[in-house]
């Protein structure tokens, strides 16, 4: 589980098999629209109080809040 301060480069965005209420393709589209694209730099900036969720992620120079459940579709190396 990515902690605060964790950073890296997106290796793959794949929502297949992710436990979200959205269909995989829809979740993938939304993540892409928010800039979660392979090759983008990400860093976990903040965490919520309940279960360290949601998280605020810096994606290149945009900050996006997502829940961990959906963030599982973003694979970072």
Partner 1 sequence: MEAPLMHLALVGTPNSGKTSLFNALTGSRQKVANYPGVTVERKEGFFVTPLGRQASVVDLPGTYSLRGRSPDEEITRDFVLGRASGEKPPDLVLCVADSTNLRLTVRLLLELKQTGRPLLLVLNMFDIATRRGVSVDAARMSEMLGVPVVTSVAVRKAGIAELLRKTDEIAKQAQVSVQQNLWKPLSVAELRATQREADKIIAATVSLPARPDTWTARIDAVVLHPVAGLLVLASVLFVMFQAVFAWAQPLMELLSDAFSTLGQFVHDTLPAGLAQSFLQNGVISGVGSVIVFLPQIIIIFLFILLLEDFGYMARAAFLMDRIMGGAGLHGRAFIPLLSSFACAIPGIMATRVIDNRRDRLTTILIAPLMTCSARIPVYTLIISAFIPDQEVWGWVNLRGLVMFGLYAAGITSALGVSFLIKFFMLRDYAPAPFMLELPDYKMPRLKSIALGVYTRAKMFLQRAGTTIFSMMVLIWFLASFPQPPVGAEGPGINYSLAAIIGHALAPLFAPLGFNWQIVVALIPGMAAREVAVAALGTVYAIEGGKEAADQIGQVLATKWSLATALSLLAWYIFAPQCASTLAVIRRETGGTKWMALTFAYMFVLAYAASLLTYNVAVALGAG
- Inter-CA distances, 49 with 33, 46, 52, 54, Å: 27, 10, 5, 8
Backbone angles phi, psi at 39, to 5 degrees: 100, -15
The first and second tokens of residue 34, run together, are 């928010």
Binders of partner 1 in range 12-31 (CB under 8 A): 20-22, 25-31
35 is a contact residue toward partner 1 (CB under 8 A): yes
Question: Closest approach of Cβ 48 to partner 1, in Å?
Answer: 5
Interface residues with partner 1 (CB under 8 A)? 20-22, 25-35, 37-39, 45-51, 53-54, 56, 60-67, 69-70
């Amino acid at each position: 589980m990515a902690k605060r301060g964790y950073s890296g480069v997106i290796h793959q965005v794949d929502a297949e098999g992710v436990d979200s209420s959205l269909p995989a393709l829809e979740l993938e589209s939304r993540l892409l629209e928010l800039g979660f694209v392979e090759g983008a730099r990400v860093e976990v900036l903040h965490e919520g109080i309940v279960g360290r969720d949601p998280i605020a992620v810096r994606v290149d120079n945009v900050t996006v809040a997502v829940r961990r459940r959906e963030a599982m579709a973003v694979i970072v190396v």
